[in-house]
Amino acid sequence: MKIFLDTANIEEIKRALDWGVLDGVTTNPTLVSKESGKGKFDEIVDEILKIVPGPVSIEVFSTDFNGMVSEAERIAKKGSNAVIKIPMGFEGLKAVKYLSKEGIRTNMTLVFTTNQAILAAKVGADYVSPFVGRLDDIGEYGMGIVENIKTVYTNYRFRTEIIVASVRHPIHVYEASLIGADVVTMPFSVLEKMVMHPKTDEGIQRFLEDAKKIKF
């Protein structure tokens, strides 16, 4: 299972890279806007593309086919690891189809149903991003969608990779891994929580105290 960070924060990305666990990054306009005090859109995106060896998803701002395609073509030139995030919809499907023929990698985002994921795969999206947390927020079982998408993609040998997105806590991560999702993209706080356990801290403390009793 690949681990992506869902962030545009350079420090968080550098820390996860340092731990050796980071396979890629996903961003969206909300995440980039949080970092806008630190530079312009292009500066932030260029820096992320430079420091991350794996795929980096960058979302378009346009909602029409022509706008999405021209933004995608501009962003794709920034680095061979750039993946263009395109929102699900009629124009989005057209754009993904066009870009996949051009050899530009895409991530179809804002996916909330299995049927939307089928269409994303049909038009050749490299990745599909079901938003589990936002479904949980409205009382639906988000991870159920991931399970269904995995079954359908296996049934028909679709090559689109599933990125579990809108992750809220570490339980989402291991549930996604049991289903066999290709990627989980998570906030930095969730990645930290995957590492930490009070019993680990307690164990280290006890060993340190007992080590003081040993004669070296």
Cβ-proximal residues to 108 (8 Å cutoff; 6+ apart), any chain: 85, 86, 87, 88, 92, 96, 116, 120, 123, 125, 127, 128, 129, 160
By CB under 6 A, the count of residues binding ligand G3P is: 9
Q: b/e string for 25-54 if b means 16 or more Cβ within 10 A? A: bbbbeebbeebeeeeebeebbebbbeebee
Stretch that binds ligand G3P, among 12-20, 40-48, 74-82, 128-136 (CB under 6 A): 128-136
| Interacting residue with ligand G3P among 4, 98, 112, 131 (CB under 6 A) | 131
User: Does 107 participate in binding ligand G3P (rule CB under 6 A)?
Assistant: no
Shortest CB 87 distance to ligand G3P, Å: 11
Q: How far apart, in Å, are the Cα atoms of 63 and each of 14, 49, 66, 106?
A: 32, 24, 9, 15
Positions 17 through 46 that interact with ligand G3P (CB under 6 A)? 26, 28
> Considering only residues 79, 89, 133, 144, which one is a binding residue for ligand G3P as defined by CB under 6 A?
133
Residues marked active site are found at: 85
Q: Does 169 bind ligand G3P (CB under 6 A)?
A: no
Instruction: Select from 155, 52, 172, 189 the least CA-distant residue to 163.
Output: 172
Q: Which of 3, 4, 5, 6 forms a contact with ligand G3P (CB under 6 A)? A: 6
Q: Which residues bind ligand G3P (CB under 6 A)?
A: 6, 26, 28, 131, 133-134, 165-166, 185
